[in-house]
């Protein structure tokens, strides 16, 4: 079984924020698969299942994402966990993949690391940085620009192919096929 987690914040007002790009990808994956919604409050998130794949959108808000990932992981014992998240350290339009590593100040990853460790796959979607470091919180909680929104669909489509590949293929193969450089 594979658990695919998209990071984001659950309220509607965050729906199109940069920080919610993980949710955007999960929504598309759910649309593309024949899924069943699993309603179990202890999972602290929206969980969907399609055959041997689980799709999770934690409802704990970004900073506590690990609670939801841990609850689902403890119950289903997935062999592979894939986390899709925004990455300030990558320019907008960049797609990268890795296993483990540091959280880079990303509170969602910090929470997941604390709850299940660092041994999970990461789909890193570059959102760029604000001009002023003090604006990080406002930046990640703001919507993509019009120009970025136009490019976002293509970025999400490539990430979907990569995620589907990560279920069965080696990370190096996926990285060589689906890495994107900044737009």
**Pairing verdict, β 2-6 and 53-58:** parallel
19 assigned to active site? yes
The residue range of the domain holding 27 is 2-178
Question: For the domain that residue 28 is a member of, what is the CATH number?
Answer: 3.40.50.1470
* Mean pLDDT computed over 28-49: 97
- pLDDT digit string (tens) for 56-89? 999 999 999 999 999 999 999 999 999 999 999 9
- pLDDT digit string (tens) for 132-183? 888 999 999 999 999 999 999 999 999 999 999 999 899 999 999 999 998 6
> How many independent structural domains does the chain possess?
1
Q: Which two tokens stand for residue 51?
A: 């055959």
Residue 183 within any structural domain of the chain: no
From CA 79, how far away is CA 123, in angstroms rounded? 17
**Which is catalytic among the residues 19, 33, 37, 85?**
19
Residue 146 within any structural domain of the chain: yes
From CA 63, how far away is CA 146, in angstroms rounded? 27
In 3D space, the residue among 164, 24, 3 whose CA is nearest the CA of residue 80 turns out to be 3
Percent of residues, the chain, with pLDDT higher than 90:
94
């Amino acid at each position: 079984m594979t658990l695919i987690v998209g990071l984001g914040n659950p309220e509607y007002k965050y729906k199109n924020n940069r920080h919610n790009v993980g949710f955007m990808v999960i929504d598309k994956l759910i649309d593309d698969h024949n899924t069943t919604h699993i309603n179990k409050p202890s999972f602290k998130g929206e969980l969907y299942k399609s055959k041997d794949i689980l799709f999770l959108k934690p409802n704990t808000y970004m900073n506590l994402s690990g609670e939801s990932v841990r609850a689902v992981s403890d119950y289903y014992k997935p062999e592979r966990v894939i986390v899709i998240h925004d990455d300030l350290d990558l320019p907008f339009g960049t797609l990268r993949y890795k296993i483990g590593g540091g959280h880079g100040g990303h509170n969602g990853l910090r929470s997941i690391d604390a709850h299940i460790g660092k041994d999970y796959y990461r789909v890193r979607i570059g959102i760029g940085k604000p001009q002023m470091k003090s604006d990080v919180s406002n930046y990640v909680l703001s919507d993509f620009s019009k120009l970025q929104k136009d490019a976002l669909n293509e970025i999400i489509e490539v990430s979907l192919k990569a995620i589907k590949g990560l279920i069965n293929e080696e990370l190096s193969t996926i990285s060589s096929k689906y890495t994107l450089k900044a737009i």
